[in-house]
Structure 1
Amino acid sequence: MLTVGCHLSTSKGFAAMGRTALSLGANTFAFFTRNPRGGSAKAIDAADAAALRELMVEHDFGPLVAHAPYTLNPCSAKPEAREFARMCMADDLARMEAVPHSYYNFHPGSHVKQGAEHGIELIAGLLNEVLAPEQTTTVLLETMAGKGTEVGRTFEELAAIIERVELADHVGVCLDTCHVWDGGYDIVGNLDGVLEEFDRVVGLSRLRAVHINDSKNPCGAHKDRHEKIGQGFIGVEAFERIVNHPALRELPFILETPNELPGYAEEIALLRSLAE
């Protein structure tokens, strides 16, 4: 069965997110660990987290895919921004143990004219500071569209980060369909070739989740503008190939399209109808 969900608000707690996911036809979901623009995180209610864990077992949920705030930039040119990223990620990873064996996704960051190589070193350095042998959470580097000075715009940049991480078993990749398309990887005309390249450069064993989004832009635009499934340049036929591809179909698919909950329910139903 396809594992698919969307981003949900944490305002009413973990168990409420699980119930909302079920009401949408989802069997996973994503959530921000704190305000998407940064700031402090809400305290975790142990009973609430336990209720979610029970619901997930009862309804055969796949792994959850948490998301770090957008403001987290481990390769910033500013030391105080890098320290915020370190503190934020360390705190988030400790709190993620309330829902064990989940994923924690983050944007690798922007090197801000320091150069991609230096940015890669800084990102790997942060991961070496915050990862712990005993953690159950896998940290996911997200594929990026390549706007500005983003790091992670190519598979080679992601591989270079992972190669420098000491506890690399705790690190994987989240493939964002809009981002890789905007980044110049033709997942419409050559999905097999793109995944073969990923396997050669990074390794398909590192691929743990998919952000499944259409794009408002043609391939290689480097703009990162998500669109509803089937209403952008990627299109429904390509998404049918994506959700059924042997390298992808067992992964959790997370929608980040411009939708409210009723729209997400429709997209979840659409993706399920495409799955063989």
Structure 2
Amino acid sequence: MLHIGNHLSSSKGFMHMGKEALQLKADTFSFFTRNPRGSKAKDIDDNDVTAFLKLAKESNFQKLVAHAPYTLNPCSNKIEVREFAYNTMTDDLKRMEKLPHNYYNFHPGNHLKQGEQIGIELIADCLNSIMWEEQQTTVLLETMSGKGTEVGKTFEEIRAIIDKIKLQDKIGVCLDTCHIWDGGYDIVNHLDDVIEEFDKIIGLDKLKAIHLNDSKNDCGSHKDRHEKIGEGKIGLDAIIRIINHPALKNLPFILETPNDHDGYAREIALLRSKFKE
């Protein structure tokens, strides 16, 4: 079965997101842990969580992929920005314990001309400071497109961060199709080679989720502009090959395409119709 969902607004609570996902024929979804452009987090309603966990079990939901706010930069050249990332992610991971055994995804950050190596060290230091042995959440590093001074634009940079993490069983990767395409990985003409390279450098055992997006830009553009499925430069045929690839097909796929409710329903239905069991 294709495990697929999209990004939902968490403003109305988990039960509302769960019901909306079911309306879309999804069996997973993503949500921001707090305001994606700020730091405010809505109080968690324990009754809402309990009701959602019951719904998720009854409906056979797959792992959820929570997303940290875009404003976090654990490798900033400003200590106050790094502290903000540390404090926010610490709080997020504590809150994620209400939804055990799911994923917490974040953009590694921008080194701001300090250099990739310093960026990698600062990101790893942050993660090693906020993760603990008993946590039930797996933290995912998202692959990036390489715009500006982003860290995580290559598999080697992601691997370098992972190598510095103490709790290896708590760290994984979320691969974003638009990001790696824009980053220069040709998943249209050389999907098998890209997956083989990922396995050689990072290891497929670390790949936990996929952001499934088309791209408005050419391969290697380093621009990070998502497009609706089948309407961009990656194209429907390549995306169908991605969801059916033996190394990927059992992972949760999260749509982050520029869409509304009906648009996501159409994309999910389309991709389910193209999935080979």
TM-score (norm 2): 0.99
**Counterpart AA for 2:3:** T
Q: C-alpha separation between the residues in 2 aligned to 1:201 and 1:63?
A: 25
Q: What aligned pairs does 1:120-199 form with structure 2 within 5 A after superposition?
A: 120-199=120-199
Identity level (%): 66
Structure 1 match to 2:71: 71
**Counterpart AA for 1:90:** T
Structure 1 match to 2:100: 100
> Per the alignment, in what secondary structure is the counterpart of residue 208 of structure 1?
strand
**Counterpart AA for 1:26:** A
Q: C-alpha separation between the residues in 2 aligned to 1:255 and 1:53?
A: 22
TM-fit CA distance, 1:11: 1.4
Structure 1 match to 2:6: 6
Give yes or no for contact 2:11–2:42 (8 Å, CA) kept in 1. Answer: no
Mark the runs of 5 or more structure 2 residues left unpaired by the alignment.
none
> Per the alignment, in what secondary structure is the counterpart of residue 26 of structure 1?
coil
Q: C-alpha separation between the residues in 1 aligned to 2:134 and 2:146?
A: 33
> Per the alignment, in what secondary structure is the counterpart of residue 8 of structure 2?
coil
Q: C-alpha separation between the residues in 2 aligned to 1:220 and 1:210?
A: 19
Q: C-alpha separation between the residues in 2 aligned to 1:195 and 1:45?
A: 40
Structure 2 match to 1:39: 39
TM-fit CA distance, 1:274: 1.2
> Per the alignment, in what secondary structure is the counterpart of residue 208 of structure 2?
strand
Structure 2 match to 1:236: 236
Structure 2 match to 1:269: 269
Q: C-alpha separation between the residues in 2 aligned to 1:255 and 1:180?
A: 15
TM-fit CA distance, 1:38: 2.0
> Per the alignment, in what secondary structure is the counterpart of residue 7 of structure 1?
strand
> Per the alignment, in what secondary structure is the counterpart of residue 140 of structure 2?
strand
> Per the alignment, in what secondary structure is the counterpart of residue 241 of structure 2?
helix
**Counterpart AA for 2:230:** G
Q: C-alpha separation between the residues in 2 aligned to 1:216 and 1:243?
A: 20
TM-fit CA distance, 1:47: 1.0
Structure 2 match to 1:216: 216
TM-fit CA distance, 1:191: 0.6
**Counterpart AA for 1:30:** S
Q: C-alpha separation between the residues in 2 aligned to 1:80 and 1:169?
A: 29
Structure 2 match to 1:24: 24
**Counterpart AA for 1:269:** A
Tell me the alpha carbon deviations over residues 46-65 of structure 1, each in whole angstroms, 9 at most, x when there is no partner.
Answer: 11111111111111111000
Q: C-alpha separation between the residues in 2 aligned to 1:152 and 1:274?
A: 31
Q: C-alpha separation between the residues in 1 aligned to 2:224 and 2:235?
A: 16
TM-fit CA distance, 1:101: 0.6
**Counterpart AA for 2:179:** H
Tell me the alpha carbon deviations over residues 83-124 of structure 1, each in whole angstroms, 9 at most, x when there is no partner.
Answer: 000000000000001111110000000000000000000000
Q: C-alpha separation between the residues in 1 aligned to 2:14 and 2:202?
A: 33
Tell me the alpha carbon deviations over residues 137-160 of structure 1, each in whole angstroms, 9 at most, x when there is no partner.
Answer: 000000000000000000000000
Q: C-alpha separation between the residues in 2 aligned to 1:181 and 1:72?
A: 23
> Per the alignment, in what secondary structure is the counterpart of residue 141 of structure 1?
strand
**Counterpart AA for 2:186:** D
Mark the runs of 5 or more structure 1 residues left unpaired by the alignment.
none
